[in-house]
Amino acid sequence: MLKYINIVFVCLLFSCSNNSNKQENLMQITWTNSIANIIHSNCTPCHRPNQSGPFNLLSYSDAVKKAKLIKFVTQTGYMPPWPADANYTHFVGERILNDSIKLLIKKWVDEGCKYGDSLITINPPEFNEFSNYRKPDLIIKLKEAVKIKGNGTDAFYIIKFPYQIDKDTIVDFVEFVPQQRKLVHHVNGHLVSYDENRKFNYQNGVQINVDETKNLLSVYKEMNIPYIDNLEPQFPTLTPNTVYYLPGYLPPNYPDEVGGFRLKKNGMFLLNNIHYGPSSKDCEDSSYLNVFYRKTPIKRAIKETQLGTFGVSKIEPAFFIEPNVIKTFTTQLTLTQDISLLSVNPHMHLIGKSFWAFAYLGKDTIPLIKINKWDFKWQYYYTFINPLKIPKNYTIKVIGTFDNTKQNPNNPFTPPKLITNGNGVESMKTTEEMFQFIFTYMPYKNGDENISLEN
Ligand code: HEC
């Protein structure tokens, strides 16, 4: 009996592998039958002229030239860049290759990068050079270009983009269009709105300021940001985080019932700050802003809350990362109302190791985001596919681990030294640390779960 089972088992195995061999022969993996499509949809958006990717992946020959590297970065999951664990939660625009696609790429490269049917030509997809969306309603450009020194170090600037429009208008979203795409690393900007009944001079003054450790208030004064009538408050209204950019980031284009904000006649977008990676030669950057208007009034404004550094919840234990340790911190907030969570933005600097956020009440947990291997280079605002309801009394808990040992290749200090929040603006410096969880939400309404946030 045992013998019989064994024979059947062996036959099964044998015929099974025979079958799959036949299938493989029938379906040879080629550029024309599968790989072009995979590359064009997952890689070309960044790997094309004037984008962040360091080389083009448009044509068959582009891909063949980099074949070994493509196999390596896709098998290891390094490309396309998507640090969030897709086994934990899904987000709009998720950039993940599933195992069968990875296998196709591997086989294609191992089998010598076959072209396939020579009668078929495949053109790369067409992209709009000036926007990832439609034609913008307002384009705000700098009066002078940013001068970047070719000294091989990171540079941080505070830049204002003043505008004046005919009347107050509702904005859908703002798209930052980087010009020096290989250098612009991240952008964080706010909307500054002036009350027409006050006196201001924001169109003049310094446009571009180096973001150093000098007093931020004096920087704002040099840039003519405060009102000039000596009344209180001295500063105009600030709507935070209305402009955001990182390589590969696209601003969420929410449906009409969600979000939108008011653009007053007089105001500016204040990039506070913009970070350029090291450049080996002197160059100029004329990045600009595309502003998209909304025809309908604001129905449900979006709110934003920040946990951890600069935020509403304290970090535990106190945020000191001693040299030669791997240390874990937590920060948490209990909700006082039902909310519909729209997007989450985990933030750490160079020695970040992992990041995990979830909401819980008793034994019930709602997964939010998990980043198993933190990478300073890729920090997105992750938008949920549908608003995620988190009921009142649930606690949002964030756990972050930092690696301040010399084994961490991203440690900015050798030998490692004590790393903390820094003081005030200083904490923005890459070499200081931050542990921050920003999220956007609306007060919950019945049916929010059914709204699609995909654009
Ligand atoms: C979000 C934009 C983006 C997407 C999408 C993207 N890349 Fe990249 N890629 C980059 C950037 C930026 C770099 C350079 C920075 C780096 O190496 O970390 C890069 C680097 C690379 C490198 C060089 C790595 C090295 O170590 O030299 C390869 C190879 C690569 N990408 C292949 C791919 C492939 C294949 C895909 C699609 C499966 C892809 N990329 C998708 C932005 C992207």
- Write out the DSSP string of 127-140: --SS-SSS--SEEE
* Residue ranges of the chain assigned to CATH 2.60.120.230: 303-450
**Ligand 1, residues 41, 47, 102: which to mutate, most atoms within 8 A of Cβ?**
47
Residue at 141: amino acid letter: K
**Beta-sheet pairing, 326-334 with 339-347:** unpaired
List the CATH code of the domain at 303-450.
Answer: 2.60.120.230
| Ligand 1 atom closest to Cα of residue 42 | 37
One-letter amino acid identity for 322? E
Sequence letter at residue 284: E
CA distances from 114 to 12, 29, 105, 111, 193 (A): 32, 7, 11, 7, 57
Q: What is the largest CA-CA distance in the chain?
A: 98
Ligand 1 pocket test, candidate residues 39, 43, 62, 74, most atoms within 8 A of CB: 43
Per-residue buried b or exposed e for 17-26, using 16+ beta carbons within 10 Å of the residue's own CB: eeeeeeeeee
Q: For residue 97, how far is its CA from the centre of ligand 1 (angstroms)?
A: 13
State the distance from the centre of ligand 1 to the C-alpha of 246, rounded, in angstroms: 14
**Backbone phi, then psi, for 421, in 5-degree steps?**
-60, -25
Pocket of ligand 1 (CB under 6 A): 42-43, 45-47, 52-54, 66, 69-70, 73-74, 79-81, 95, 247-248, 377
Contact 451, 357 (CB under 8 A): no
Amino acid letter for position 428:
M
Q: In tens digits, what is the pLDDT along the chain, a chain of 455 residues? A: 333 333 333 333 333 334 444 444 557 999 999 999 999 999 998 899 878 888 999 999 999 999 999 999 999 999 999 999 999 999 999 999 999 999 999 999 999 999 999 999 999 998 887 888 889 999 999 999 999 999 988 888 999 999 999 999 999 999 999 998 888 888 999 999 999 999 999 999 999 998 766 678 888 999 999 999 999 999 999 998 899 998 778 898 899 999 999 999 999 999 988 989 889 999 999 999 999 999 999 999 999 999 999 899 999 999 999 999 999 999 999 999 999 999 999 999 899 999 999 999 999 999 999 999 999 888 888 999 999 999 999 999 999 999 999 999 999 899 999 999 866 545 556 778 999 999 999 999 999 999 999 87
Distances (CA, A) of 417 to 317, 321, 431: 18, 9, 11
Q: What distance in angstroms lies between residue 100's CA and the mean position of ligand 1's atoms?
A: 20
Would you give the end-to-end CA distance of the chain in angstroms?
Answer: 61
Q: Which atom of ligand 1 has the smallest separation from the CA of 45?
A: 5
- Ligand 1 centroid – CA 79 distance (Å): 5
Residue with the smallest CA separation from ligand 1 atom 36 is 43
Q: Which CATH architecture has domain 138-293?
A: Sandwich (2.60)
Question: Which residue's CA is the closest to the ligand 1 atom numbered 42?
Answer: 53
Q: How far is the CA of 372 from the centre of ligand 1 (A)?
A: 19
Q: Which atom of ligand 1 is nearest to the CA of 69?
A: 29
CA of 20 relative to ligand 1 center, distance in Å = 32
What pLDDT score was predicted for residue 109? 98
Ligand 1 midpoint to CA 69 (Å): 10
pLDDT of residue 130: 83
Question: Candidates 79, 104, 246: which one to mutate for ligand 1, based on the most atoms within 8 Å of Cβ?
Answer: 79
Tell me how far the alpha carbon of residue 261 lies from the centroid of ligand 1, in angstroms. 34
What pLDDT, on a 0 to 100 scale, did the predictor assign at position 249? 83
Question: How far is Cα of residue 415 from the mean position of the Cα atoms in its chain?
Answer: 31
pLDDT of residue 132: 85
**Whole-number pLDDT of residue 228:** 96
CA 104 to ligand 1 centroid distance, Å: 18
Mutate to test the pocket of ligand 1, among 35, 46, 180 (most ligand atoms within 8 A of CB): 46
Cβ atoms < 10 Å from Cβ of 129 = 9
**Backbone Cα Rg of the chain:** 25
| 39 CA → ligand 1 middle, Å | 11
Q: How far apart are CA 421 and CA 432, in angstroms?
A: 6
